[in-house]
Structure 1
């Protein structure tokens, strides 16, 4: 089943192509890492695919009505601002909005979805606390939980592990991996190539306005691509503990 399809997709601003000729499909059971250098267009690609900014070509998600889209995909933007001093239970419950009619009270199924999301993000000890009083990393975990509570076939997250401590970075990627193994799919933009290599089933490299590579991490993260796209050298090895990737130096 295809959860996202982009055909001849692109974005232009001020008569300049930001992205062009993007063609990709994401099916069920995938954990897709969107990687690339700063300014390559990773965030633009995700926002345009969702119909949040103008684009050309076809996006299967942008073609949906807002309510249909809310049931098809959960979106976690890069911005982490929580503007109102609400308790985190209320904030996570906002993820259930696409499943409720206007004014409808949460049902048992909605409460259970919130409980599952809070458990997955290690937030049970924070229940009842005011979201704006949490640290930046804790707020990020709450916002991920809100997206998880939506329980959509597809989750898209823009740099969701930025600002998390190493344990919660790994735990979050493991949560995304578990979702993929359960038949959902996750598309996540990342700068940590080590975590991307270790946890993603597929990497899509965005560079110079297009897709520079698309495939399993061990096929994508070649020495040539790392040099040409990221200007680095790195160690990449398949071990008994999985794929290990470590940047070594800058290539000039």
Structure 2
């Protein structure tokens, strides 16, 4: 089942095109890595798909009402500011708002969703901790848990593993892969090509405001594409512990 359909999407700022002719579909079971150099248009693409930026073309999500969109897709932006000194559990509970009628109290089903989100991000022991007192990496995990608690068919998250330690980078990507294996879909923007190759079922390369490659990781990250879009070389080995991809040198 298709969870997102985008056709000829474009975004302009001050009369200058920053995103052009983007078309893609995302189906159940996919973990899609959105990659590309800084300034390529990844965040713009995600925000436009969600209807958060004026755009041309069509996005199946942007056409929905805000309430319906909140039930179809969970969104975690790059910004990680937590403004209020609430408990971790309270903050994660906010992910259930799209599923509640005005004035409705959370149900046992909501509590179960919150428990699952805390467990996926290994935050069970943090429930009553004040969210604003946590480290930056811990706060990032709490915000991911809030998005997971929405339990939507599609999760979109912009650089969620930036600032996490290696263990939590890996566990977060594994959590996303588990969601895909359950029949949901995840679109994750990231810069770590090694983790992208190891965990994503599909990579989309954005460069210069356009999609320049889309497919399985090893068909996308060819030597020519690495040179053209990232200006690097890399080493790859398919090992008995899975694929290992390591960027090596900056190419002149």
Q: Do they superpose with TM above 0.5?
A: yes
Instruction: String of CA shifts for 1:52-103, please: whole Å, max 9, x gaps.
Output: 0111000000000001000000000000000000001110000000000111
1:167 to 2:152 alignment: no
1:211 matched to which residue of 2?
Answer: 211
Partners of 1:209 and 1:150 in 2: how far apart?
Answer: 30
Gaps of 5+ in 1: none
1:12 to 2:29 alignment: no
2:154 matched to which residue of 1?
Answer: 154
2:228 matched to which residue of 1?
Answer: 228
Q: What's the secondary structure of 1:17's corresponding residue?
A: strand
Q: What's the secondary structure of 1:62's corresponding residue?
A: coil
1:188 matched to which residue of 2?
Answer: 188
2:129 matched to which residue of 1?
Answer: 129
1:243 matched to which residue of 2?
Answer: 243
Q: How many residues align?
A: 252
1:76 to 2:80 alignment: no
1:93 matched to which residue of 2?
Answer: 93
Partners of 1:83 and 1:22 in 2: how far apart?
Answer: 35
Partners of 1:34 and 1:24 in 2: how far apart?
Answer: 12
Write out aligned runs for 1:39-78 (5 A). 39-78=39-78
Partners of 2:202 and 2:10 in 1: how far apart?
Answer: 21
Provide TM-score, normalisation by structure 2.
0.99
Partners of 1:135 and 1:208 in 2: how far apart?
Answer: 35
Q: What's the secondary structure of 1:20's corresponding residue?
A: strand
TM-superposed deviation, 1:209:
1.6
TM-superposed deviation, 1:17:
0.7
Q: What's the secondary structure of 1:116's corresponding residue?
A: helix
Instruction: String of CA shifts for 1:88-130, please: whole Å, max 9, x gaps.
Output: 1110000000000111110000001000000010001111111
Partners of 1:56 and 1:67 in 2: how far apart?
Answer: 22
Q: What's the secondary structure of 2:105's corresponding residue?
A: coil
TM-superposed deviation, 1:179:
0.3
